[in-house]
Amino acid sequence: MKQKQGIQRGYPDPQLYMPAMPPLGLLNAFERKVQKWWRERAERRQAAALRRSRPSGQH
């Protein structure tokens, strides 16, 4: 089987290729992870505030 001739360019190939847009599945997964972390953080902060506001004699 004969291989195709590579494209001749006047500049070297980049060491790292960055596409203009990352895959949408990757973006969605990252966004869901951040939203989950943010929601859990808010819940932890709210629980900590409630613990601080209770009188010390009640547990």
- Dump pLDDT digits (tens) for 5-55: 666 666 666 676 666 777 888 889 999 999 999 999 999 999 999 998 887
Give the pLDDT of residue 29: 93
| Model pTM score | 0.52
Give the pLDDT of residue 21: 73
pLDDT above 70 for 3: no
Quote the CA–CA distance of 55 and 52 in Å, as a whole number: 8
Higher pLDDT, 23 or 57: 23
> What is the DSSP code (8-state) at residue 54?
S
